[in-house]
Structure 1
Amino acid sequence: MLSADPLPEPNWDAFLGHLPVVLERVDMVPSNLATALGLDRSAVSHWLAGRARPSRENLRAMARELRRAFSSPLELLDWMELAGWRPSEEDLRRWFPHWFAEHGKLPRGPRLVDQRYVLRPAGRMVGREEELALVRGWLTSAEGFRRPAVRVVTIGGMAGVGKTTLARAVGEDPLIEAYFRDGVLWARLGPQPNPRRWMLEWARLLGWTPQSGGPAGRYLARFLADGERRVLLILDDVWPNTPFDPLIALAGPQTRVLITSQVLTIAELYGRNRLLRLGLPDHEEAVAMARDLLPPEMDTKEQARWLPILGEIVEAVGRLPVAIRVAVAVSLLEGPEQVLRDLRAKEDVAPPRPERVLRLEIAGPDPRQSKAWAAFEVGYEALEEEDRRRFRALGNLPTGTSFGVKVLAALWEEDIEWAEAAARRLVRRSLLEQVGGNRYTLHTLLHDFAAARAEEAGERDVKGKWTERVAVALVGKPPWWRPVIPRVWTGPKPFSREWWVQGKEEFLRDVSQMILPWRREAEGISVETWATGKALLRLIDRYTLWFVLELSLLLILTLATAVLTVLDVPSWLIDGVIEAIFYLDIVILFSTGWALVIRLMDLHRLYHLPKGPLEAGEAADRITLSGPAGSPQ
C-alpha cells in the first residue's frame, strides 16, 4: 500500500499555508469546506489560525472533496505529505481515473540497488542514527508547497570517516526512497570527474535511449525541470575546482542534491545549503563497527576472545572506520594479537615511524575496502605547495595532542596571523580538526601520513628543534637564574624545612617521571606542555654536561696544583693563573649548578601546572610571573 510508506515529519505551516490556494481553485471558502466535511463552520478557520489541526479522517475527506483542485495525483500527494499523511493508491485511482489511464501507475524511479556502479558496502552501517535522521530531515524539509527548504546537503569530514557509507544509507533509507519517487541517482566524481558520463548514465536510468531523439543531457534537464519530478542526486567525493557544477545545474525545482566531500567549503557555494561535519565514532560505536565485521559463524567463545583486543585495535587506528575495516580484515587472516603487535610496534621506534596502517592496507584482502592512505594522498595533493609544507611539518608533532596557533606559528616559523589562516585552510580541507577556539588536533593516521611525507622530503625534525621555538614563544627565553613556570600547586616551598621533611620524595618522583621516558608520546597532554617540557629537558642536558665538564676541570686544576706543590716548581705566574682559573671555575660551577636546579624546579612546576595558562597562549610576561598557589590537576 502506498499509504504504508514512511513519511517525513508534518509541516503544518506549509500545508495550511497552501489551503487558501486550493480553496480558491474550487471556488470555496473555509466555511463551505467545513460544511462539506460535516464539521462546524468555524473548524477550517481554526485550522488556518493555528488553533487546531485536522485529523486523519479530516485529511482523507479533504483530499476527496478538493481533488478537483489538482491536475494530477502527484500534486495532491505532495500537498497531503506536508500534513504527514498519504492517500492510498486505491483512492488515487478512484479520484484520478483519466491520469492513471494515461500513465498506468504512480512513478517509481531508479534506486541505488538498480545502479551497478554504486559500491556495495562491506557491511551494514553501525551507529550514525542521529546523523542519518538529521540528513533525512533536511532533504525532506519544505518551506511551502513544492518549495524545498534545503536544496543542497553536504556531508564533510576527513578521508575514511564514513561519508560515503552515510550517503549510501541515506539513499537507501525507506523514507528517502518513498519521498523521492522519481529516483535516487548516484555519481562518484573524485578529483577528475567526467560529468558527461554521469549525465548519460542517469538519462538511461530515467528512460532515455539513443532513439529518444536529442542528447542525453537535454533529456535529463527536461526530466528534472518538471515541477512534479522528485529526484535526489548524490554526488560522492566532490572536490573544488573540478567540473562538477554541470550536474548540480541540472537540478529542477523539486530536485535535492546530497554531496560528500573532504572540503567543507563546498557547502558555501550554494544557497539553501546545510553542512554536516561527520566526526569520528565514539569508542562504543567503533567497537560495534569492528564486531559487526566478524564472520557471523564465529562462535560466542571466540567472539569473547576478540572483543578486548578489538577495543585496543580501534583505538590504535584512531577509531577511523576505513582503518577499522582494514585492521579487522587483516586480523581475520593473521590473528588479532599479531595485528595489535604490529600497530603497537610503531610506538616503540624513536623517532616514530609512520607505518601504523600502511602494511595492513597492503595485506587487505577485500578490494572493496577504501584505502585510507590513498584517500589522504588525494587531499594532500590538492593543497598548494606552501600548505603541503605546513602539513608535512605537522608530522613532527607528538600524536594524540591538541595545540594552539602559537605552536603552529613556531612550528612553521611564520607570523601568528599567517599560521591561523593556514590552519583554517587545513581545517576546511579536513586535514586538521578544530577542537574549540583556536585549538586544533591531528588524527593519529593523518599524523602518520604527514610524518611519512616529511621523511620523504627530508624534513623530519628528529632533534626536535621546533620545541625550543615553541617554548620561547610561550614563556620567553628562560634566564638561568630564575624559574619561568609559575608555582601553582599547594604544599611546602622547595628546599624549605617542611619540604625536606615532606616534599623531596614527591619532587624526585615527579622529576624522574619527566626525565626518564625520553621518547614518550604525549598522550593526553597539550603540545604546549609537551614542547615546553622537552625544551626544559634539553636545557637540563646542556647544564648537566657543563656541570660535569666544569667539575672535571676543577679536579684537574686541583690535581695540577698538588703536583706543582710536590715538585716545588717556583713560578708565581703559573700559580697565579691556576688560582685564577680555579676560582673562576668555582663561580661558573656554582652558577651552572644553580641553573640546573632552576630548570629542575621549572620541570617540577610544569608537571603540576593545570591545563590553561600555556594552552591559552597568554603573553610571555604574564606566564612567567609566579602566580598564587592552587591545587594541581
Structure 2
Amino acid sequence: MRGWSLARIAEALGITTRTVIRWERGQATPYPYYRERLCALFGKSALELGLEPDGKEREKTISMEKHAGDPSFSQSPRSASYLIDNMIPEALGRGGNLLGRSELLEQIKERLREGERLTLYGLPGVGKTSLAVALAIDKQIQARFPDGILWVGLGTQPNVVSQLARWGSLLRVWPHEFEDSESHETWARTLQAFIGSRAMLLIIDDAWTAEDALAFQIGGTRCAHLLLTRLLQVALAFSQENMLMVPEIPEDECLKLLARYVPRLVTHDKESVCTLVRAVGRLPLALTLMGKHLALQDLTGQPRRVQAALTRLHETRHRLHLSIPVTVQERPPHLPAGVPISLHATIAVSDQRLSTQAQIMLRRLALFAPKPNSFSEEVALAVGGEPAEILDELWDAGLLESCNAERYTLHQTIVDYARADQPPDLAALRRLVLYMLNFLENHIQDSEMLEIETINILTALDGAATLQMQPEAVLTESARIWLQTLR
C-alpha cells in the first residue's frame, strides 16, 4: 500500500531483505523486539499486521510486562523453556572446593538479586570460576533470572564474534537475519535488542582485557552481569563501584576440603597436612590438585604410597607441577589444549604477559618472605632496581598485592613460582641486605618500625650468610644487641 521496497523495510529495521521475505511467507516469526519496531514503522497494531502472538506467548508477555519492575518475580527455573548455557562447567560448582565460601556466596547472590553489574577478582587459582558455577546452578539465582543464564569463557585470545554468535544460537538469533554478522558490535546490538526486557544472568569468565569483557555487557535492566578476572584493571573498567576480591579459604576449611579426599590422612597426620596447607597459602586450586592426587594414591590401599606422595608434595617444584586430567569443559579458557592444569601453568599465563622488566622484578621481589609478610614500596624499588611503573604492572596483573598504604605482599604460590625457574639474583640480594642493615641502623630506637620489618631483616641476615657477608662488622653496638636478642 505504501509502495515500500523490501530493502527499505530491512534497512529501517537493521535486518536483511531475506528475513523480511521469510516473515512475509510465514517461514519465521519476528522476535518481540522486531514486532514492536514493525508496529512503529507502519503505525499499526500487532493484530492489524498479523503479528499477534499465540495465547501462551501472549500470556507470558503480559505477565513479564506486569512484573517487569519486581525483582522478586520469577518463573519456575529449569522449565522446558528455561535457558541455561551448556558451556557452564557444572561439576566445578559442586565440589568440596567451595568450602569456606558460604558468606561470600550469599553476598554475591544478594548483589546479583538486585540486578547489579559485579566483578569477582583475585589470585590465579583462588576459585573465582567455581564460585560463579555455584551461582549459576543455584535455585534462588535461577528463580531470580527466569529467562536463563548465559556463560562465556574468554581466555587470553578469545574469538569475540564467535562467542557472541554462540549466544545468538542459544537465543535463536541467526547471523543471516541481519547485516554485518562478522562484527562484534553488530552482534552485541542485535542480542541487546533481542534480550530486551528478559531477566537473564550473563557470566563472563576469565576476562583478560576490558574490551573483551565489555563486548558481552549486553541485556536490559532486568539482566545482571558477573565478570571474573584476575586483572585489577579489567575489574575496574567493568564495574569500578561493585567489585569483590575472592580471598583464600581459612585453614580449618582447607582441612575439611582435604578431608573430603583423604579423611584418614587428615585425621592421623594433621600436623603434616597443616604444613602442606600453609605451603600453598590456602589456595583452593592447589588444595584440590593435592587432594585428588593423594586420593588416587589412597585408592591403592597402600599407606606407604600415600606417605610417599605426601613427602613429595612438601617439595616446592613437585607442588608447582602437580597436575590432574580434566574434561574439556572444565579446562580454563586461558590454558591451551594439551597443557595440563597445574599451579605452574596457571601462574605462567600471567607471567608470560608481563614485560621483561616486570618478569625480572617479580623474581627479585620473590627474595622477600611471602604473605603475611609485607614490604615497603621503597625497599621494593631498591631491591627490584626498576621504576615504580613496573610495580604497577605487577599489581595490575594480579601478581602483587597491596596490604596497606605503600606496602606490598606476595602470595606463597607466586613466590614459589618466581623462585623455581632460576637461581636468586645475587646483586638484588645484596641490595636487600644493605638496605635492611641501613634501615636497622636508622630505626634502632623505633621498636614499632623494627617490629614491622622484623621478617625482612631476618631475610636480609639469611641473605648475608648466602653472600658470605658479615653484617655485625658494620653495625653499631646497639644494632648488634638487637640482632642477638632477635636470634
- Give the TM-score normalised by the residue count of structure 2: 0.70
Q: Give matches, 1:306-455, under 5 Å.
A: 307-334=270-297, 335-346=305-316, 355-361=317-323, 364-366=324-326, 370-400=341-371, 401-414=373-386, 418-419=387-388, 421-455=389-423
Q: How far is the alpha carbon of 1:377 from its aligned partner?
A: 1.0
Separation in 2 of the partners of 1:233 and 1:159? Answer: 22
SS of the residue corresponding to residue 259 of structure 1 reads: strand
Aligned residues of 1:356 and 1:448 also touching (Cα < 8 A): no
Whether 1:292 and 2:282 are equivalent positions in the alignment is no
Q: How far is the alpha carbon of 1:536 from its aligned partner?
A: 7.2
Q: How far is the alpha carbon of 1:119 from its aligned partner?
A: 6.0
Q: Which residue of 2 aligns with 1:75?
A: 65
Separation in 2 of the partners of 1:78 and 1:317? Answer: 47
Q: How far is the alpha carbon of 1:307 from its aligned partner?
A: 4.7
Q: Which residue of 1 aligns with 2:479?
A: 602
Aligned residues of 2:430 and 2:467 also touching (Cα < 8 A): no
Q: How far is the alpha carbon of 1:402 from its aligned partner?
A: 1.8
Separation in 1 of the partners of 2:313 and 2:238? Answer: 42
Match of 2:198 among 197, 217, 229: 229
TM-superposition CA deviations, 1:49-84 (whole Å, max 9, x none): xxxxxxxxxxxxxxxxxxxxx972113333444xx5
Change (3 A) 1:117 1:136: closer
Q: Which residue of 2 aligns with 1:283?
A: 251
Aligned residues of 1:404 and 1:438 also touching (Cα < 8 A): yes
Q: How far is the alpha carbon of 1:461 from its aligned partner?
A: 2.4
Separation in 1 of the partners of 2:247 and 2:356? Answer: 27
Match of 1:245 among 214, 234, 240: 214
Structure number with the bigger relative contact order (C-alpha 8 A, sep ≥ 6) is: 2
Q: Which residue of 2 aligns with 1:36?
A: none
SS of the residue corresponding to residue 243 of structure 2 reads: strand
Separation in 1 of the partners of 2:240 and 2:219? Answer: 13
SS of the residue corresponding to residue 289 of structure 1 reads: helix
Separation in 2 of the partners of 1:463 and 1:209? Answer: 58
Q: Give matches, 1:165-204, under 5 Å.
A: 165-204=130-169
Separation in 2 of the partners of 1:473 and 1:602? Answer: 10
Q: Give matches, 1:47-196, under 5 Å.
A: 72-81=62-71, 84=72, 86=73, 108-112=81-85, 115-116=86-87, 118=89, 120-121=91-92, 123-124=95-96, 125-141=98-114, 148=115, 150=116, 152-196=117-161
Change (3 A) 1:78 1:268: same
Change (3 A) 1:464 1:116: closer
SS of the residue corresponding to residue 396 of structure 1 reads: coil
Separation in 1 of the partners of 2:276 and 2:383? Answer: 31
Aligned residues of 2:214 and 2:238 also touching (Cα < 8 A): no
Separation in 2 of the partners of 1:608 and 1:437? Answer: 29
Aligned residues of 1:164 and 1:260 also touching (Cα < 8 A): yes
Q: How far is the alpha carbon of 1:266 from its aligned partner?
A: 1.5
Change (3 A) 1:302 1:247: closer
Aligned residues of 1:262 and 1:430 also touching (Cα < 8 A): yes
SS of the residue corresponding to residue 357 of structure 1 reads: helix
TM-superposition CA deviations, 1:474-501 (whole Å, max 9, x none): 246x9xxxxx733969xxxxxxxxxxxx
Q: How far is the alpha carbon of 1:191 from its aligned partner?
A: 0.5
SS of the residue corresponding to residue 186 of structure 1 reads: strand
Aligned residues of 2:122 and 2:247 also touching (Cα < 8 A): yes
Query: How many equivalent residue pairs?
Result: 399
Match of 2:456 among 520, 528, 531: 528
Change (3 A) 1:72 1:603: farther
- Computed over aligned residues only, the root mean square deviation of the Cα atoms, in angstroms, reads 3.8
Separation in 2 of the partners of 1:469 and 1:597? Answer: 10
Q: How far is the alpha carbon of 1:453 from its aligned partner?
A: 4.1
Structure 2 unaligned segments of length 5 or more: list them: 1-59, 298-304, 332-340
Tell me the percent identity.
Answer: 23
Q: How far is the alpha carbon of 1:328 from its aligned partner?
A: 1.4
Q: How far is the alpha carbon of 1:311 from its aligned partner?
A: 2.6
- Give the TM-score normalised by the residue count of structure 1: 0.55
Separation in 2 of the partners of 1:222 and 1:540? Answer: 68
Separation in 2 of the partners of 1:463 and 1:246? Answer: 43
Separation in 1 of the partners of 2:416 and 2:467? Answer: 28
Aligned residues of 1:154 and 1:273 also touching (Cα < 8 A): no
| Bigger radius of gyration among the two | 1
TM-superposition CA deviations, 1:144-192 (whole Å, max 9, x none): xxxx5x3x21110010000111111122221211111111111111110
Q: Give matches, 1:543-562, under 5 Å.
A: none
Q: How far is the alpha carbon of 1:422 from its aligned partner?
A: 3.5
Q: How far is the alpha carbon of 1:428 from its aligned partner?
A: 2.9
TM-superposition CA deviations, 1:453-481 (whole Å, max 9, x none): 444xxx632893133332255246x9xxx
Aligned residues of 1:154 and 1:258 also touching (Cα < 8 A): yes
Whichever residue aligns with residue 216 of structure 2, its letter is L
Separation in 2 of the partners of 1:242 and 1:87? Answer: 32
Q: Which residue of 1 aligns with 2:52?
A: none
Separation in 1 of the partners of 2:250 and 2:128? Answer: 16
Structure 1 unaligned segments of length 5 or more: list them: 1-69, 90-104, 142-147, 347-354, 479-483, 490-523, 544-594, 610-632
Separation in 1 of the partners of 2:428 and 2:196? Answer: 65
TM-superposition CA deviations, 1:334-380 (whole Å, max 9, x none): 4443233224345xxxxxxxx1513423xx35565842211211111
Aligned residues of 1:108 and 1:181 also touching (Cα < 8 A): no
Separation in 2 of the partners of 1:608 and 1:123? Answer: 48
Q: How far is the alpha carbon of 1:408 from its aligned partner?
A: 0.4
Whichever residue aligns with residue 288 of structure 2, its letter is R
Q: How far is the alpha carbon of 1:207 from its aligned partner?
A: 2.7
